Amino acid sequence: MSAMPERGPTTPYEALLQFLYQTPVGLVQTDNDGAITLVNPMAAQLLMPLAPGGDLSNLYDVLGAHAPGLRARAGVCRSPGEEICDGLRVHLGEAAPPGAPRVLALRMLRLDAATLMASVRDVTLEEQREAVRLQSRLREVSRLDALTGLPNRVAARERILAGLRRDAVSRLAVLFMDIDRFSHVNTGRGQAVGDEFLRQFGRRLAAELQPGVAELPTAPVAARLGDDKFAAVLDGPDWLEDPVGAAGRLLQAMGRPYVVGGQAVQLTVSAGLVVVDKPTEPDGDPDALLEDARLATREARLAGGGRMHVYDASLRVRLQQRAAMEATLRRALQHNELHVVYQPIVALGNGAPVGAEALARWQHPQRGAIPPSEFIGVAEACGLIGAVGGFVLRQACVEFARWRAQPGGARLQVLSVNLSRAQLLEQTDGPGIQQVVREALADSGLAPALLQLEITESLAAQDEQVQAQLRRLKALGVKLALDDFGTGYSSLSSLHQLPVDAVKIDRSFVSQIETSAHHQVLVEATVRVARSLGMQTVAEGIETAGQAALLASCGCDKGQGYFYARPLPPSEAAHLLLGGSL
């Protein structure tokens, strides 16, 4: 057998053809009509499922059903090197045999005036990965709050559920936060300022939680639940060793001032905390925990705001009782079961009556007298305080004007009526407090200067917006009195900043004035500062002659209390007030 002749060296052209033939990328060369003049095995393998009858002679025919505009686009691109398409996705779908590519990517360009070149790739896995990434991104977006970038309620639920299902002897705590009086920021400074405040609040909340971050399964999470409501899922040993203390410190940090648009904004936060021990029950309900925390927050707001309430099982019982009381109170308003009583106010110098404080009372047909402590809070919580307060104001103005018109009535110089926080601040569908006061005065004919509206010290000292509302009330010609002075947030040094005409010294000071030199000095100081500011002083809760004498010696102008008279029905109050002495 003769030896085979040795093959000569491969030419560069042959090497190039061999490379193109074996490359894992499909390559196709065509003329202007799409007739295939060169195709490598990879291109044939990828395109065959598309070829009608297995005919790979013309690329336009093969791709006709999937890229019908390709022939026209190639006819427009006439310059050598010009790109006809790049990354054009060809979806085979169910037409592809099992295991065959589902998605191809086509790139096509012009080599010269008569030749086109196309590359074909299998991008099925790439497209699947893109779909997974897209779904993941969409899922993340659906779990984030658009304004603050914090996790939203959906993400918070997931985090709570994970904590409940974790098989560990530990705790889980949920803190619900509601920003007090946030609506006034939006109303007074505009939505842009409100939105920026919420963004800053969210950033601070997330930052405050970071020091406690451990591994992800037990990291605390901040979330925005909507509007001005946020939540913190407290997890991990740094937060749960003392969840009440940790939550309290967090709220203190959240209440520090914010700088928005170059201006300081400081709002308090009401919060509700739910602590779950041993969260190992797989059927735990995140929505139930969030609702419990929300209910606890509502209790904090009803208590005046700026504080935290820890949820306990008795809260739901109280809520049920409150709901029953609300229904009964609504019926009482419809059936005129409420009435007004009056406690005389006297001049401490001579004991002569100079006015009265009007107070709401409720006489239930079956239960008898229901104390205000049981129904005023309910009225505030359910939005009925406007109706209750409006009734008291109108009734008192009518009766006081009638007393003033009787012999001896000219000595009556002050009708005092309480305003609640809800009446002063809350937005309602009915008339605002200014309109209610204006109408009560007009309907009764009572001079505005005779009406004194009482507000608590803590309410008057809250912020500029509250004080602006008080100044609008004063513009009606009425007087304002600071009730329960000494128990709130203000002090003698800040008394001049409050737009009030009178200071009512709290009964807790009056009750100890005979036995405590400290309390006597405080009363004396209050009287001196009020007088220097042109304000009247009224002492509440006087029960003994000694208290009355000491208050008079301190220079206090007026007083009221059981020593003079209990709150009385209109006829009895009129008899004492017009009689001239008590």
pLDDT at 324: 79
Lowest mean pLDDT among 303-312, 417-426, 550-559: 417-426
pLDDT at 71: 87
573 is written with which tokens?
């109050």
pLDDT in tens, 481-523: 988 776 544 466 667 777 889 999 989 899 999 999 988 998 9
pLDDT at 449 > cutoff 90: yes
- CATH among 1.25.40.10, 3.40.50.10860, 3.30.70.270, 3.40.50.2000 for 143-312: 3.30.70.270
Q: Say which residue, 9 or 456, is predicted with more confidence.
A: 456
Instruction: Output DSSP code: residue 123.
Output: -
Q: Where are the domains of the chain?
A: 12-126, 143-312, 319-579
For residues 488 and 516, the answer to whether their CB atoms sit within 8 Å is no
pLDDT at 271: 94
pLDDT in tens, 137-186: 656 666 788 899 888 888 888 888 888 777 654 678 899 999 988 887 87
pLDDT at 213: 44
What's the residue count for the chain?
A: 582
How confident is the prediction for the chain on average, in pLDDT?
Answer: 84
Its pTM surpasses 0.85: no
Which run of H or E residues covers position 355?
Answer: strand 353-364
Which run of H or E residues covers position 392?
Answer: helix 385-404
| Kind of pairing between the strands at 451-456 and 414-418 | parallel
What is the CATH T-level fold of the domain 319-579, as seen in this structure? TIM Barrel (3.20.20)
Residue from 328, 399, 317, 310 nearest 357 by CA: 399
Question: To 10 degrees, the CA torsion angle through 235, 239, 242, 243?
Answer: -60
CA geometry: angle at 69 spanning 63 and 71, to 5°?
75
pLDDT at 283 > cutoff 70: no
pLDDT in tens, 354-383: 999 999 998 888 888 888 887 887 787 777
Lowest mean pLDDT among 167-171, 330-334, 476-480: 167-171
pLDDT at 23 > cutoff 90: no
- CATH among 3.40.50.300, 3.30.450.20, 3.30.300.30, 2.40.50.100 for 12-126: 3.30.450.20
Residues above pLDDT 70, as percent of the chain: 86
